[in-house]
Structure 1
Amino acid sequence: MAALSGWSHHRLYLALDTTVLWNRYCMIHLSVVCCGRAVPLLWRVLEHGSATVAFEAYQPLLRKARWLLREHPM
């Protein structure tokens, strides 16, 4: 959050990505993208053998990001 404080006058974008590890785990990671940089913000690891996950799996990450970024101007 300290890194993001310097970006208060810039538009932020969120990038959601998944990575499968050892064909057994799926890591969902949510990054904030600004000024050509992506900063990891939140992540979650599921026991799931595919990179395709249901909305219900990553919805909590989006809600938490909305709460964490609530002070950032829109």
Structure 2
Amino acid sequence: MGSMSIWHWVVVLAVVLLLFGRGKISDLMGDVAKGIKSFKKGMADDDTATAPSSAPETPRNIPHQVSSTTEAEKKPV
């Protein structure tokens, strides 16, 4: 009940081929391959762009909130 036999997959493949045709599926797979290639190229470009400029950043100061009480109003400990 939970598993699909080989005949189920054959029927599904036949229906997909009838609906879309062989030409559309091959075009779609070609477009997917082009997208993957451009994604990999973009990731490689990002790696080469960040590698030479990997100088350590200088730490920045974080501004703290100033309380409304002054030093004279604080109680001694």
- Normalising by the residue count of structure 2, what TM-score does the alignment of the two structures yield? 0.27
Larger helix percent: 2
- Normalising by the residue count of structure 1, what TM-score does the alignment of the two structures yield? 0.28
Specify the structure having the higher radius of gyration (Cα): 2
Larger strand percent: 1
Structure with the larger RCO, 1 or 2 (CA within 8 Å, 6+ apart): 1
